[in-house]
Amino acid sequence: MANTVTIESKPAEGASAANKGLQVTERAVKRIRAAMAQEGISPEQGGLRLGVMGGGCSGLSYSIKFDTQPRERDRIYEFDGVRVFVDPKSFLYLHGMTLDYEETLLRQGFNFINPNSTRSCGCGSSFSS
């Protein structure tokens, strides 16, 4: 069976995330790029893997990690040279989501802004749809 992937690029300015699958803000792209360099992951081959798994205080949890290459059937998004991989099952929950990065005195980390989430907990990494 041949490997099949879907590659989607950053939508044009003014396009909504819900219509284009997934968004990653400039702040998040910069942070992902820096972390990939620290981990020694090549942007040409690897990328950030976003996913959803069962568990967490609201029923589902976000999964975020680096991967050295896409998997068969992944959707691949590219934002200013940074690739993001999403498996088909997770895409059902992540479609329309925006990944942001926040760095304040009180909090540092990625924010998942997900219109599919009907309820989330205080940690920000667990939700239900």
Query: Tell me: the pLDDT tens digits for 67-106?
Result: 999 999 999 999 999 999 999 999 998 999 999 999 888 8
pLDDT at position 18 is 40
Give the pLDDT confidence of 1-13 residue by residue, as tens digits: 333 334 444 443 3
Half-sphere exposure of 99 (CA within 13 A, CB side): 30
Query: Structure pTM?
Result: 0.76
Asked which of 37-46, 52-61, 104-113, 114-123 is least confident by mean pLDDT, the reply is 114-123
pLDDT at position 64 over 90: yes
Does the domain at residues 6-10+20-116 carry the CATH identifier 3.90.1420.10?
Answer: no
> What pLDDT sits at residue 12?
35
Taking the C-alpha atoms of residue 94 and residue 77, their distance in angstroms, rounded to an integer, is 13
> Domain segments of the chain: what residues?
6-10+20-116
